[in-house]
A and B are shown apart, each in its own frame.
Chain A
Amino acid sequence: MSDIHPQAETQARPIVRIGRFLKDNPVIPLIALLLLLIGTLELMRPGIISPFWAGNTIKFAIPLAMLAACQVLTMLTGGIDLSVGIVATASAFVAATLTPLVGPVPAMLVAMAVGVVVGVVNGFGTGIARVHPLIMTLGTGLIASGCLQVYQRYVIATGTDIPAILEWLGTGRTAGLPNGIFLFVPFAVFVLWLMRYSGFGRLLFAVGSNEKAAQLSGVRSWQVLMALYVLSGLIAALTGLLYLGMIRAPSLSLANPLMLPSVAAAVIGGTSIFGGRGSFAGAIVGALILRVIETMLTLARMPEGARIALFGLIILAVTALYVRFTEQR
């Protein structure tokens, strides 16, 4: 039977055209929102905005944005990586406990290997066994978390040490900016390049947009998913190392609180959890927005519980508004 021809672009209503423009450039309204929030913050507490404050906000947005990169990349394929929090934690813990034993560089390499191992398992589960990524990464996250506790018993007596380079990256400042940007800027450039100018990035969009069509184009999607989850694990492990340098106190739940905000940053940044559409630039702004909102809630002197609840509410509201605005057809 003949099908219905989609209407070709003719005279779209202005609201639709604005929606489309925003859909094509999701970062613009996000930056506007960020500036609006910063303005509100200044009204709440005049004088708070300072170079130091800005540097601090950026510093704590960096690990969040890096984990959000994991979410953006996996969401492009219609997936998600819920194991990034525990991978980052494990990587930090392993690096801190192994440094006194084997030295900083081998310790950091082993920490990165943790990310690779979890990534391979995730890739196998999602790409070959076809388990839903949500379940798969939740499962590997729990397994990794258990393994980490077992590992802790063996190294309980060794003590911890933090590699100097990580401390420099995590706590140092250069010209008012946190040294973390020396890691983050090349990282962000790489991810942006990967998504836009590499064959692999193109396949991420393809697999998420229409896996059957990708298959018909000759793409073996298990290869893509395997590489993707390994990459995601590597990024998470790297984030763990940076975060270790920032916090300087390894624990068994170090980076876990970053996990859900990383998903929120990706979604606020305009990445569709259904795949095929996403932007890392948006996620970076999303991470900054989350940090600013956090500052606002802290300033409002709310009890911890109310703050967390309100944080969740704001994330939902921002996402709903944003999606409603840009999904206009």
Chain B
Amino acid sequence: MTSQTDPMSSGVTDTLLDAQNVAKSFGAVRALTDASLTVRRGEVVALMGANGAGKSTFVKILTGAIRPDKGRVTIRGAEARVGSPAEARRSGLVPVYQEPSLIPDLDISDNLRLGDTNADTFRHWAAELGHPELRLDAMIRDLPLATLRIIDLARALASTPDVLLLDELTAALPTDLVERVLRVARQQAEDGRGVIYISHRFAEIAALCDRATVLRDGRSVGDVDIAPGIEDRVVEMMLGARIDLGQRAAETARPKPGGAPRLRVQNLAAAPKLIDASFDLHPGEVLGVVALEGQGQDELFEVLAGMRKPAGGTVEIDGAPALFRHPADAIAAGLKFVPGNRAEALFRERSVRENIAMPFSARARAWGPLRLRHEKARVAEAVERLQIDTRAQGEVQRLSGGNQQKVTIGRWLAHGVETLLLFDPTRGIDVRTKRQIYPLVRELAGQGAAVLYYTSELAEVPLACDRAVVIFNGCVVDIVEAVDATEERLMRAAYGLTSAEGAA
């Protein structure tokens, strides 16, 4: 797995971090089955993997936040079973995350004191990272996110770590800062330390890293040296063979729906991550949205659902401009949102029936007597259509994950669907339920609904969608027809590897 020759020196002592055959399960979910990673002196190693490959779990194990079920992690050759983040820090591994781990209500110097960081060394690194003017008495909560990431990184560097772990640090950073971060990371390697670099951006990985370790479905599937043209191989490794999600029920090539679009989004921007999204969604169409984590898709859906105000651009419903101040406005305009996190949509201790029927009572004019018969019929219809297992219907929290997901969708089936916004509806549910959801989505479209369907599983796109927009770095970079939507094509686009052909 590791290459035989070492350019700097020889011997096992050069291995800074060595994690072998790490496995971890959460209940019945096997997040990691066999993950390995080696970092040697003077190396920058990229850790790559598609959504759900087990990257976050692996990082948590490396940093000592959770214990592995199996496998060992050694740092500097010594078998050091990492037990806590503090222990990992002491043994020489220091992580820096996308979300800075700083206490908002303290100023910079207090935050430094908490981690026993030398202020002068910190200043040196802050200057190196382009912030020489930083005042140590500035309150953390008053500073912009980009500055906080730099502070977090400078603090990590000040502790002279043997291995520095950078997790998606450059997402939503301005270009000049990205360059400085990359330069400092490279410098670390040249000083004989090691860096683990996690990013979705091939350009940065190509510029910075020596090697890449690829994770897929919880196991390490490859360890490649970075060379020109390596992207294709990495994409291939990340995809691998997939579980059979079933066949698309209906015809694949459908006539393109004509007429005016139900939903037209133009140059939509929303803080912090969505920069420029434009697309049309027609009645009878399922439009997929493909993006790696945190490329702006969350903001896109939140704006359309009325939960977030856009920073720019327009949304039109049936040709009329729409601005939503509250989800109630979006619902009134026919946009029904199913969030990615079921917990956000469900009333845990209430019944299935109440959960599904809730929108009927939302408006003040419906606060009077419940229309029990009407409600019962509509709920029964939704339950029937989604085949929700109602054996434990007294409280939604007693249902299985898949059935809970069906309840969140069933709510809008009962209420009537004109435009459905599905955000990763199949995340974390069993294959059988997944296979029920695709035909349902097709059926809804067949009845004239317009569906916007974000999925983190690329294989779903040809099964459920007519077209897919690909978002990278806050912008729509590609629109792919379902017939062309091979996983490889989508994956390349999602990593920003396509030329601008077809981009809106």
Q: How far is the CA of A4 from the CA of B52 in the complex (A)?
A: 13
- A218 and B307 CA atoms in complex are apart in Å by 11
- CB pair B400–A200 under 8 Å, yes or no, is no
Q: Which of A6, A198, A216 makes the CB contact (< 8 A) with B400?
A: A6
In contact, A4 and B411 (Cβ under 8 angstroms)? no
From residue A156, how far is it (CB to closest CB) to chain B in Å?
43
When C-beta atoms are compared, the residue in chain B nearest to A213 turns out to be B345
Q: Which residues of A contact B339 (CB under 8 A)?
A: 216
Interface residues of A in 200-239 (CB under 8 A from B): 200, 202-203, 205-206, 209-210, 212-220, 223, 227
CB distance from A4 to the nearest CB of B (A): 4
- Rounded to whole Å, the gap between the CB of B424 and the closest CB of chain A is 11
Q: Are A212 and B344 in contact (CB under 8 A)?
A: yes
Question: Does B308 have its Cβ within 8 Å of any Cβ on chain A?
Answer: no
Choice from B29, B349, B358, B367 contacting A277 with Cβ under 8 Å: B349
Most buried by B among A209, A212, A216: A216
Q: A24-B394, A202-B370, A223-B364 are in contact. Are A217 and B359 (CB under 8 A)?
A: yes
User: Nearest B residue to A212 by beta-carbon distance?
Assistant: B344
Say yes or no for B448: interface residue by CB 8 A criterion.
Answer: no
Is the CB of A305 closer than 8 A to any CB of chain B? Answer: no
Residues in chain A near residue B327, CB distance under 8 A = 215-218
CA A32 – CA B372 in complex, angstroms? 33
A8 contacts which chain B residues (CB < 8 A)? Answer: 389, 391-392, 398-400, 403
A210 closest partner in B (C-beta): B347
**Complex formed: what's the CA distance from A6 to B407 in Å?**
15
CA A202 to CA B52, docked complex, whole Å: 37
| B243 proximal to A (CB < 8 A) | no
B428 CB contact (under 8 Å) in A3, A209, A220 = A3
Determine the chain A residues whose CB is within 8 A of the CB of B54 once the complex forms. Answer: 1
B367 A200 Cβ-Cβ under 8 A: yes
One of A5, A209, A220, A223 near B350 (C-beta < 8 A): A209
Residue of A nearest to B362 (CB): A218
Interface-central residue, B327, B343, B357, B359, by most chain A CB under 10 Å? B327
A151 close to chain B: CB less than 8 A: no
Task: Please encode chain B, from 352 to 371, with 1 for each CB lying within 8 Å of some chain A CB and 0 for all others.
Answer: 00100111111110111110
Q: Does B401 contact A (CB under 8 A)?
A: yes
Q: How far is the CA of A324 from the CA of B246 in the complex (A)?
A: 47
In the bound complex, what is the Cα–Cα distance between A223 and B307 (angstroms)? 17
CB distance from A309 to the nearest CB of B (A): 34
Residue B317 CB within 8 A of the other chain: no
- Decide if A9 touches B411 in the complex (CB within 8 Å): no
Let me know if B398 and A9 touch, CB within 8 A: yes
Query: Please, how many residues of chain B have a CB less than 8 angstroms from a CB on the other chain?
Result: 56
Smallest distance from the beta carbon of B309 to chain A beta carbons, Å?
Answer: 15
- Whether the Cβ atoms of B358 and A198 lie closer than 8 Å is no
A11 within 8 A of B: no
Query: Of residues 414 to 437 in B, which have CB atoms within 8 Å of A's CB atoms?
Result: 427-428
Note all chain B residues with C-beta closer than 8 A to A209.
347-350
Contact of A9 (CB < 8 Å), options: B307, B361, B370, B392: B392
A-chain residues with CB within 8 Å of residue B401 when the two chains form the complex: 3, 5-6
**How long is the Cα–Cα vector from A218 to B403 in the complex, in angstroms?**
22
Establish whether residues B350 and A205, one from each chain, have CB atoms under 8 Å apart when the complex forms: yes
Q: How far is the CA of A9 from the CA of B396 in the complex (A)?
A: 11
Contact of B57 among A1, A5, A214 (CB under 8 A): A1
Choice from B332, B350, B359 contacting A276 with Cβ under 8 Å: B350
Asked if B392 and A217 make an inter-chain contact with CB atoms under 8 angstroms apart, the answer reads: no
B337 and A206 contact, CB distance less than 8 A: no
Q: Does A190 lie at the interface of the complex (its beta carbon under 8 Å from any beta carbon of B)?
A: no
B305 CB–A CB distance under 8 Å = yes
CB distance from A317 to the nearest CB of B (A): 25
Tell me whether A216 and B345 are in contact (CB under 8 A).
yes
In the bound assembly, the distance between CA atoms of A214 and B354 in angstroms comes to 12
Report the Cα distance A24→B398, complex, angstroms.
Answer: 14
CB pair A206 B427 closer than 8 Å: no
Name the contact of B344 in the complex, choosing from A4, A216, A223 (C-beta under 8 A): A216
Show the binding face of B for A, using Cβ within 8 Å: 26-29, 31, 52, 54, 56-57, 305, 307, 326-328, 331-332, 337, 339, 343-350, 354, 357-364, 366-370, 372, 389, 391-392, 394, 397-404, 411, 427-428
Can you list 17 residue pairs at the A/B interface with Cβ under 8 Å?
A1-B428, A2-B26, A2-B428, A4-B26, A6-B398, A6-B399, A24-B394, A199-B370, A202-B354, A202-B370, A203-B362, A203-B367, A206-B354, A209-B347, A213-B347, A223-B364, A276-B350
Given contacts A2-B52, A3-B401, A199-B368, 5 further A-B contacts (CB under 8 A): A203-B361, A205-B354, A217-B359, A218-B328, A220-B328
| Chain A to chain B: the 10 pairs with minimum beta-carbon distance, closest first | A199-B361, A218-B362, A200-B367, A209-B347, A2-B428, A218-B331, A218-B328, A4-B27, A9-B392, A5-B401
